[in-house]
């Protein structure tokens, strides 16, 4: 496995938008791309821990790239990438619900930093990323254990919703049609 530093250096020397922008900044300032990128990552990390926009930035990291990749996966013929991003969204959804209950704590800014790191781990492009680990170790076993109970609750709720919708529709129809029919008789 290639060390992270070498992969980072290869990314900075590659042909991509970030490398191109950093190359232009390097040409103007004389500061090497590696230092610019490392400084930017550190600054972002500090901003995530202490900055006011940490929540927005964290949500952008956790949503924008995964949403883009999900659209690409939907449009591709390969279904393996669909599974990868569906797994991410399941973990993201559960994490968002859990996070709601944690935001009442005084450690919100620290949690935001951890949230961003967690979301980056969940979308990392390797097989043991956070989405796969969380899904396979926790979510899937819980789901399989309680699937029949949840299915019956969902079916019961669906039937109740359908019955209520039919009743409301029937009553609304009667409220509209009956007076209209009576007014036609009077004419």
Task: Show the domain range for 23.
Answer: 1-50
- Regarding whether 178 and 94 lie in a shared domain, the answer is yes
**Can you give the three-state secondary structure of the chain, one letter per residue?**
CCCHHHHHHHHHHCCCHHHHHHHHHHHHHCCCHHHHHHHHHHHHHHHHHHCCCHHHHHHHHHHHHHHHHHHHHHHCCCCHHHHHHHHHHHHHHHHHHHHHHHCCCCCHHHHHHHHHHHHHHHCCCCCCCHHHHHHHHHHHHHHHHHHHHHHHHHHHHHHHHHHHHHHHHHHHHHHHHHHHHHHHHHC
Report residue 51 as tokens.
């900055």
Nearest to 44, CA basis, from 33, 29, 56, 32: 56
Predicted local distance difference test score (pLDDT) of residue 186: 61
Residue with tokens 């991509």: 16
Mean pLDDT for each consecutive 10-residue tract of the chain (187 residues)?
A: 76 86 91 90 75 71 85 88 91 84 60 77 85 89 87 85 85 72 62
170 and 109 housed in the same domain: yes
Helix locations, 76-139, DSSP H: 80-102, 108-122, 130-134
Q: Does residue 167 share a domain with residue 89?
A: yes
Residues 140 and 112 in one domain: yes
pLDDT at 1 (0 to 100): 52
Among residues 33, 50, 67, which one ends one of the domains? 50
Number of domains in the chain: 2
In terms of domains, do 152 and 76 share one? yes
Note the pLDDT of residue 179: 64
Whole-number pLDDT of residue 140: 87
Place of tokens 């250096």: 9
- The span from the CA of 155 to the CA of 161, in Å, is 10
């Amino acid at each position: 496995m290639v060390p992270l530093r070498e992969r980072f250096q290869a990314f900075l020397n590659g042909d991509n938008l970030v490398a191109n922008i950093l190359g232009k900044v390097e040409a103007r300032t004389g500061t090497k791309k590696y230092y610019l990128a490392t400084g930017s990552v550190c600054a972002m990390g500090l901003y995530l821990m202490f900055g006011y926009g940490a929540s927005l930035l964290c949500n952008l990291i956790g949503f924008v790239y995964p949403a883009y990749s999900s659209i690409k996966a939907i449009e591709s013929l390969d279904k393996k990438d669909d599974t990868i991003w569906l797994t991410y969204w399941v973990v993201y959804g559960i994490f968002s619900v859990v996070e709601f209950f944690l935001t009442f704590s005084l450690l919100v800014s620290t949690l935001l930093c951890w949230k961003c790191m967690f979301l980056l781990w969940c979308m990392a492009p390797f097989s043991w990323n956070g989405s796969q680990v969380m899904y396979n170790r926790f979510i899937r076993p819980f789901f399989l254990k309680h699937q029949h109970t949840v299915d019956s609750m969902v079916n019961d709720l669906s039937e109740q919703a359908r019955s209520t919708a039919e009743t409301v529709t029937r009553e609304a129809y009667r409220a509209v049609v009956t007076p209209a029919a009576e007014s036609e008789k009077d004419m």
